[in-house]
Amino acid sequence: MNIEKLKEWIENSGNIVFFGGAGVSTESGIPDFRGEAGIYKTVSEYGVRPETILSHTFFMKEPEIFFDYYKNFLLYPDAKPNSAHYALAELEKRGKLKAVITQNIDNLHQKAGSKNVLELHGTLYRNYCMKCGAEYDINFVINGENVPKCKKCAGIVRPDVVLYEESLNSDTLSKAIRFISEADMLIVGGTSLAVYPAAGLINYYNGNRLVLINKGTTGFDSRADLIIHRNIGEVFEKIMK
């Protein structure tokens, strides 16, 4: 069984890195805005695709619509970590897992107890004033006016997430590359690896334990040393038993 093999590899590895995508969060009830349903709902409600609303240009031009979408489609403050999040936190505690690299912006890895989390696309939990740089937490945005404004200077307070057309934080990216290139095992989960920079990052892995856990097939299946086409929460639940 592939899950038995994964379990065995984890037991024999001491420098595991996990790379995760939207699929890790969907099992916590956070829908993938890039998934078919997400695109359909966004187009029918706003007349444009999610990538358009979540672009830098659109944000600057139509902040009211951006924040409306943001609050209705991206913010899930009540979401709870699932078995995958908890298992990864536990593996870190045991000293086996060195980093979680995630494309998600929902803070669920930290909620589960993970310490070294590299958030490639930023986080909804940090917000800052575009004018003076003052920082605000998520509640300020949730409870504030439609377009949240800085209490000090009235500038727009935006989430510290990477919008389309914006570049990734270079420090986070270089850390991710370092962890991946030094890993003896790389587990990739909940992503089809279609979104930049996921595919490129996987190429930095030098080892022979590349594991892909994803419901559907990915463009990297042929490169993987182990493939499990199942829900990631279910897989980790079995592993940790």
d(CA 185, CA 228): 15
Alpha-carbon distance 9 to 184, whole Å? 10
Q: Which residues pair with 136 in a beta bridge?
A: 127
Please, which residues have CB within 8 angstroms of residue 170's CB and are 6 or more apart in sequence?
A: none
Which residue of 53, 112, 120, 150 would you call a contact of Zn ion, by CB under 5 A? 150
Residue 141 in contact with Zn ion, rule: CB under 5 A: no
Tell me how far, at minimum, the Cβ of 148 lies from Zn ion, in Å.
11
Nearest approach, Cβ of 157 to Zn ion (angstroms)? 7
Output 142 or 153, the one with its CB closest to Zn ion. 153
Nearest approach, Cβ of 126 to Zn ion (angstroms)?
15
Residue 23 or residue 159: which is nearer to Zn ion going by CB?
A: 159
- Between 29 and 133, name the residue whose CB sits nearer to Zn ion: 133
- The minimum distance between CB 151 and Zn ion, in angstroms, equals 8
Per-residue contact track with Zn ion, 10 to 49, x per CB under 5 A? ----------------------------------------
Report 109-138 residues binding Zn ion (CB under 5 A): 129, 131-132, 134
Strand partners, 159: 127
Give the SS3 label for residue 161. strand
Please work out the total of residues on this chain that contact Zn ion, with binding judged by CB under 5 A.
8
Residue 173's H or E segment, with its range, is: helix 170-182
Percentages (nearest 5) of helix, strand, coil residues in the chain: 40, 20, 40
User: Nearest distance from residue 145's CB to Zn ion, in Å?
Assistant: 14
Instruction: Give catalytic residues, as residue numbers.
Output: 121
Among 31, 38, 113, 155, binds Zn ion (CB under 5 A): 155
Question: Please, which residues have CB within 8 angstroms of residue 146's CB and are 6 or more apart in sequence?
Answer: 64, 67, 68
Contacts of residue 154, defined as CB under 8 A and 6 or more positions apart, other chains included, come to 131
Angle (deg, nearest 10), helices 232-240 and 83-93:
40
Q: Between 138 and 239, name the residue whose CB sits nearer to Zn ion.
A: 138
Binding region for Zn ion (CB under 5 A): 129, 131-132, 134, 150, 152-153, 155
